Structure 1
């Protein structure tokens, strides 16, 4: 009922609906944002959450989906609110997301690569959504040949000039008409930023958009992209708020860092836009976090899986830059009674530290802590049901430990340990095996971008270093490799997730790719941000072939993965899939062959392929040759 009302709301009644169902009006929430007197969380709920908040005057919610919402609550009032609103079933703090690495080189005389795939596909009829730092909309490579912008919408969360998007209490939305008018105004000497104030200050989003769908300008222009006729929908994220860093007990870094609620809002915005325009959309999310156990159950991952159930909307990302392993450790408590130690080096600049430990049911593993001086707390007792957190002191260090035991349907337990006023030196997290069945454990620190100095695990594991949300079931991710050596870059995040999913699906190149810079320049881009952009461009071409041209209308995430896996090339000496590169290196020539073969098979198919059940009769399964031979031997016995 609430979801139906939410989707059908008219502009005229928006503010009334906000007051009734959110507890706070737009202006009241904006005031909390401006004063910094708030905390934000992503929540899961049941029932009529709006009615539950109708009597709350110190917090509000924005419903993003039938069971998910963004919670804004005054500082220090979260526990009170949870007691008053039993409809809230799950609360997660807004995790911190870092941009995917991208280094920009202005020297385009170096050896570089551009996309000349020679496929009869150009992204026509497909929208590519990009979430990040925005886009240089004035660049002519993002217009068509008539000078009309190919950017259909921009939601800039950082500008408060209005109009705001429907259902979101902040930011400014610009339409294609606004953007085109700004471009034409500049051409006659006007000030485009008076019409559309949006800018991409550091060029991250512009470089991504360039490799995906920048237009060749003709004549001697050497630039090429993957899907030059695609359209764009852009969300520029607001930076994480000061209170989010306070909740996470981290100092604000100099670089761009974002938070869950902004990312979730961006995804919902693009999802709504896709449903409105009825065109296939692939969304590229070039950022990630170390929050979560790589089991696909963070609220953002479950939210993504919910929105990507339909065949015309998909989300891709890259595996991140934590592959060196300094922020992940894993191991085995071999038997009941054994003790395992996780050594951590803490830099003098580090003021506090969060360590997240994940174990598997039915194991019972207690934790302890030993500081650099050799003093320890052994077998820290679990909090009672009323406590939630256990607060302890080890010399000058204040320690807060949160146990989350029995997470539904996952088979995993988690322990989050916060050490305040941490001192430099070698710390040990001690794991005591009280009752061991498997004994496997994983531990993560925050991503290295958020750590100070040389803070790291001393016995790291480079596997399972892919970032959240890669472990969401419907997300498609890529690692990145150096196409000049055909080797996966060391820092590239690796799989596999702990939920049994195969990610990364594949690997794509990411070194010295010719792309678009700010101020109408060409640059070379290197990093996992470029690799993910290539994957997004490839899916735009698949959408054009399958949905726009009608060759395969039912392109759900699983079918997209099948096509991509079939389009990889492999090295003879490697076993696939593997943690570094999934099923192999994406190859556009092979992708074209796969699509061409599928087009021929579809034309020769007598079944009604729009009927998903009958289409299964045409299912193609690729079985390794040796396994197939063994199966045939069994059949002949």
Structure 2
């Protein structure tokens, strides 16, 4: 028989980390993170929960770190939904030639290779020892911020060096000013160069890319030319800014019911990384192209998540561009939709739940002004109704014939969108076919969407029986000013089968462009090359292409006030389009990116 704690996982007393006064709340498992805007009453919250601290991300967004022991259970309400950090995960030379890059590298007059620009990759880190990120002057990485390194690890690294050198007064890396990053460890080019010259590089720069995703994206965006391997990054002379995003805290993983081995990252940490990249690019006096190869299905897919709003904001800056993966949710069966029309009063959505599924979340978003009635049927046929009249407080649905509990928060009018949000969490769901009955009470001609977590954060065998591949572009690919890239097979010209498809529920065009992303050659951790597929690969190439446009526009003074939106519009104009296809469309956006054709149009 399952116990109450099996349905409501909380941090146990013995799991709490001692030394609350000295630990960094951004990294501590004892603190919950909440994204806020400055106009919200931050001071009252800090006074309400003793021990709370605040850190600004930029002039609009900040993060409150609240002691978990003082704030009680997390609840999804009309005010808290957007403050609770969403979690994001990975969206995984021939390709460069397909996008018109090689012709501009070698063009007798243009010779665009990204010189004088910066490319930031916010992901799993980088194999800084790899030859594709080094040149005659040493490392091409100007800054490497590893958010995951904690104080204890830093001290251990110092002790190892002390034992090796017999000198504790002048350790390599002692001159690094960590005040520039709020947590983790910052390494500069000179530190990386010292590490590369050392027999023990990780004793000086103890940052590793443990899965190779960030290394692959950095290579595609800005890796060196390697003629013997027929490989080049899109901007091989750009300066790199790398941020390794720390893993999501355990309390959030518990709340979202993610599998124990799932890799997930917090929204606020990604926002901190963007702010850091922008500040360092300003110091370098370089235009900046940012690559985000991560995504999430949380939210209304309307660009209202905090990260999507932030991407919108920074992409309007002069000299900042943000390239984003469209996600790989096109064929995962994690999205379902229904449309109420005249005379149709109920829609049944069937969900198959896998054997041994421990739990998952599901978000229902319904267009206004309809008021939706929901009820849930277990595989045994038992039906329980969701109340829409008790406010957003948590409802507990306990089934008699299966050991499953379902916790529901019904938000009639979600404040960022005006949509109805029904947030559902399944604890130890019985395997089999579950049904969600949706009724339209006012008989409006409206549509609703239901999203499960993205692949990797839920079992592959839990899915909708009648899914829709459309409206599956992941956040922040729903940001209006991002350059959202989908993937295609550059050898035969076909769309990547797993690629997220548009549009957004309110009809905004996304993805914006298609770039090669299937079996693309990438550098591997510890050397050598392999192949990767996914829209994150497409986003990385687009980020490198954006750096080339910045070189032409800003470094060469052709368009000194070029913005991220400018980059997007130039690339959309120059995209290759098939004669028998209408553009834009939900699969291809405005077509296949072709930088050379963009420059042909300029002439």
TM-score by length of 2: 0.85
**Aligned: 1:224 with 2:210:** no
Q: CA deviation at 1:28?
A: 3.2
Match status 1:44 vs 2:34: no
Could you tell me whether the CA contact under 8 Å between 2:86 and 2:296 is conserved in 1?
Answer: yes
Partner of 2:213: 204
Partner of 2:394: 389
**Kept in 1: contact 2:298–2:475 (CA 8 A):** yes
2:23 corresponds to: 30
Deviation (angstroms), 1:459: 0.6
What is the rounded CA distance, in whole Å, between the counterparts of 1:149 and 1:339 in structure 2? Answer: 61
> Counterpart in 2 of 1:67?
60
The answer to which of 47-56 and 242-251 deviates more is 47-56
1:42-95 CA distance string (max 9 Å, x none): 23342663576267424322221233222322225436999xxxxx88753222
Does 1:236 find its partner at 2:244? yes
Within a 5 Å distance, the mapping from 1:466-485 to structure 2 comes to 466-485=473-492
Question: Is 1:154 the equivalent of 2:163?
Answer: no
Counterpart of 1:95 in structure 2 is 86
Cα shift readout 1:473-525 (whole Å, capped 9, x = no counterpart):
22111110011111101101111112332111111111233332222323333
Task: Identify the match of residue 434 of structure 2 among 419, 427, 436.
Answer: 427
CA distance in 2, matches of 1:221, 1:419: 49
State whether residues 364 and 436 of structure 1, in contact with CA within 8 Å, keep that contact through their aligned partners in structure 2.
Answer: no
Aligned to 2:456: 449
State the Cα distance separating 1:247 from its structure 2 match: 1.4
Partner of 2:443: 436
Distance 1:287 1:432 in 2: 35
Mark the CA change 1:261 to 1:237 in structure 2 (over 3 Å): closer, same or farther: same
Count of paired positions: 549
2:298 pairs with 1:291: yes
> Is contact 2:337-2:447 (8 Å) kept?
yes
Q: What do the CA deviations read for 1:517-556 (whole angstroms, capped 9, x no partner)?
A: 2223233333222211111111111111111111112222
Q: Which moved more, 1:256-265 or 1:483-492?
A: 256-265
Shift in CA distance, 571/428, structure 1 to aligned 2, threshold 3 Å: same
Distance across 1 between alignment mates of 2:290 and 2:24: 31
Is contact 1:164-1:170 (8 Å) kept?
Answer: no
Residue correspondence of structure 1 range 199-348 to structure 2 within 5 A: 199-216=208-225, 220=228, 222-253=230-261, 255-335=262-342, 338-348=345-355
- After TM superposition, give the deviation of residue 112 of structure 1 in Å: 7.8
The match for 1:610 is none
1:552 maps onto 2:559 in alignment: yes
Q: Matches of 2:179 and 2:48 in 1, distance apart? A: 24
User: CA separation of 1:194/1:360 partners in 2, compared to 1, >3 Å: closer, same or farther?
Assistant: same
Out of 166, 170, 173, the position equivalent to 2:179 is 166
Deviation at 1:221, TM superposition (A): 6.0
SS of residue matched to 1:569? coil
- Following TM superposition, by how much is the alpha carbon of 1:411 offset from its aligned partner in structure 2, in angstroms? 4.0
Does the 8 Å contact 1:482/1:509 carry over to 2? yes
Question: Cα offset for 1:172?
Answer: 0.3
Bigger shift: 133-142 or 486-495?
133-142
| Residue pair 1:318, 1:529 contacting (<8 A) in 2 also | yes
Shift of 1:121: 0.5
Q: 1:504 aligns with which of 500, 504, 511?
A: 511
Cα deviation, residue 164, structure 1: 6.9
Instruction: Indicate whether 1:121 and 2:126 are aligned.
Output: no
Structure 1: runs of 5 or more not aligned:
1-25, 83-87, 102-107, 598-637
Q: Say if 2:352 and 2:434, in contact at 8 Å, map to a contact too.
A: yes
Instruction: Return the alpha-carbon distance in structure 1 between the equivalents of residues 54 and 35 of structure 2.
Output: 9
Alpha carbons 2:115, 2:551 under 8 Å: kept? yes
Cα distance change of structure 1 residues 165 and 360 upon mapping to structure 2, 3 Å threshold: farther
1:415 aligns with 2:422: yes
- The answer as to whether partners of 1:404 and 1:414 remain within 8 angstroms in 2 is yes
| Offset, 1:409 | 6.3
Separation in structure 2 between the aligned mates of residue 564 and residue 112 of structure 1, nearest angstrom: 17
Gap regions ≥5 residues in structure 2? 1-18, 156-175
1:602-623 Cα deviation digits (max 9, x unpaired): xxxxxxxxxxxxxxxxxxxxxx
Q: CA contact under 8 A between 1:46 and 1:89: conserved in structure 2?
A: no
Does the 8 Å contact 2:292/2:536 carry over to 1? no
User: Using a 3 Å threshold, how does the CA distance of structure 1 residues 323 and 435 change in structure 2: closer, same or farther?
Assistant: same
| Match status 1:489 vs 2:482 | no
What TM-score do you get using the length of structure 1 for normalisation?
Answer: 0.81
Q: Within 2, Cα distance between the matches of 1:299 and 1:522?
A: 36
Contact 1:44 1:299 in 2 (8 A): no
For 1:625, the equivalent position in structure 2 comes to none
Say which of 25, 46, 49 aligns to 1:53: 46
Q: Structure 2 CA distance, aligned partners of 1:236 and 1:374?
A: 47
Which residue of structure 2 aligns with residue 180 of structure 1? 193
* CA-to-aligned-CA distance 1:452-471 (integer Å, 9 cap, x gap): 24100111000111111111
- Work out whether residues 328 and 445 of structure 1, in 8 Å CA contact, stay in contact via their aligned partners in 2: yes
Task: Measure, in 2, the Cα distance between the counterparts of 1:587 and 1:555.
Answer: 19
CA distance in 1: counterparts of 2:553 and 2:591, whole angstroms:
23
Cα distance in structure 2, aligned partners of 1:226 and 1:81 = 44
Shift of 1:592: 3.0
Kept in 2, the 8 Å contact 1:463–1:579? The answer is: yes
CA distances 1:551-580 after superposition (whole Å, capped 9, x unpaired): 112222332221011121111221111111
